[in-house]
Amino acid sequence: MRKIVLLCFFPFALSLLSIYLIAFDPQITQSIFGQLKKEPVFTPSPFITNFNDAPGYEKYFLSPELSDTIIYLLGSSELTAGGEAIPYNFINNKFSTKVQAIGHSGNQCFSIFSQLLANHQRLKNSRIVIILSPGWFEGKGSRGTSSDIFLEFNSEHFLKNILTDDENIDFQAYEGKRISELYSEFNSPSLPLRMLNFKGRANQSIFHKIAYSPLLYCDELLLEETYPEIVSEINKDRVVISDSVFINWDSLLMASKATVIANATNNSMGISNDYFSRYINNNKGRVGPVPEALNQELEDFKILMKLLKEKQVNVSFIISPLNALYFQNLREIESTIHIVQQEIKANGFTALNLFETESTKYEKALLTDVMHMSDYGWYKVDKFIIETYHLTK
């Protein structure tokens, strides 16, 4: 018996004790494996070009824990051009509420729709400002979000959220339809992307549904695997700069307008001298109007509006300007922008409309080129955001 205890039970008990000490005693663990590195606290930049460039941030996008401290500013190339007046600089430097900007060229309505649908449970009362460029609804932009841009803003995590969402069948169906239209452009599509394509095709008819059901069933078994989380902690510190903020808008607007005009002395379009010399040289531009029935971007915009309305989002819009002194035929897309305005109004949302087709009414200090806002234009946007969301400190 003593031999059995010495040869079997004693080694077994000793091994259990060793495992316990290694697993639960930090000093022993450290002496064996060295200092364990803590996962860094994630502090996002106030401007993120896309979710691929900020690994882990998507987990905290629209987080309820941050809803009272952040206004999300979503848009495209407008967000990449701006100085001290752009909202994620100007408002962040003056208020405890921070602007988190996300987007770059090509981040249009379907991309934004998908980002929000993937986080539909976080949408209610979220403060979101969307910059709508008239350029989205004409020419090449009217085709909608491109496949490569879509993937920059909608990861496998987001697409899986949409796939496993049983509350929003109509929105999910639209997602599948659009994915199936883009599917041939995707290189090595992921499992969630493939399944959304199957869902989009299955919805075409009863015969398609029968054909794609086995494929969807098999892929659903694979989808049950959990996608690993990237980041475990985010820096939520917010510094209140003052109890109240006084902004002399008249002074800011007057000074910034004068600066734009002073930097545009070699042309009468309000375009900065350097940009005009490099890209314009007295040439004129034209927009490419697209009929409503053929305008994919307009269709994507309407479904985005439906989602925002249904999920009770505290959303507002900026309709950015195009340079009416450069583009010769802006009137030809006026009817399309009117539809956009009517959709916003019909859904009870607010908007700052800076788009003007008449060259005699257009404020040439709004832009530094043909479509990107100057500090003067951004101060108008700042004022709109601050007043819309009642920022006081």
Q: CB within 8 A of 330, min separation 6: which ones?
A: 287, 322, 324, 356, 357
Pairing, β 98-102 against β 47-48: parallel
Measure Cα distances from 225 to 56, 213, 283 in Å.
Answer: 19, 20, 56
Task: Output b/e per residue, 182-218; b: 16+ Cβ within 10 A.
Answer: bbeebeebebbbbbbbbbbbbbeeeeeeeebeeebee
In 82-202 the beta strands, taken as DSSP E runs, fall at 98-102, 127-132
Q: Which two tokens stand for residue 281?
A: 């040289």
What pLDDT sits at residue 4?
Answer: 53
d(C-alpha 84, C-alpha 375), whole Å: 7
Please list the rounded mean pLDDT of every run of 10 residues in the chain (393 residues). 52 50 47 46 79 85 88 96 93 95 97 97 96 98 97 92 90 95 90 80 67 55 52 45 75 97 96 96 94 97 98 98 97 98 98 97 96 97 97 82
What pLDDT sits at residue 233?
Answer: 46
> In the chain, count of helices (H) and strands (E)?
15, 6
What pLDDT sits at residue 19?
Answer: 46
Closest CA to 340 of 328, 352, 326: 352
Q: What is the pTM of this model?
A: 0.84
d(C-alpha 27, C-alpha 33), whole Å: 10
d(C-alpha 59, C-alpha 270), whole Å: 42
- Which of the 8 DSSP states describes residue 101? E
Domain boundaries, the chain: 2-33
Length, in residues, of the chain: 393
Measure Cα distances from 78 to 49, 285, 301, 303 in Å.
Answer: 11, 19, 18, 23
d(C-alpha 2, C-alpha 36), whole Å: 42
What pLDDT sits at residue 242?
Answer: 42
d(C-alpha 23, C-alpha 259), whole Å: 64
Burial of 332 (0-12, 13-18, 19+ CB in 10 A): middle
What pLDDT sits at residue 239?
Answer: 43
In 206-331 the beta strands, taken as DSSP E runs, fall at 314-319
Q: Edge-to-edge strands of the sheet including 314-319?
A: 47-48, 98-102, 70-74, 127-132, 314-319, 350-353
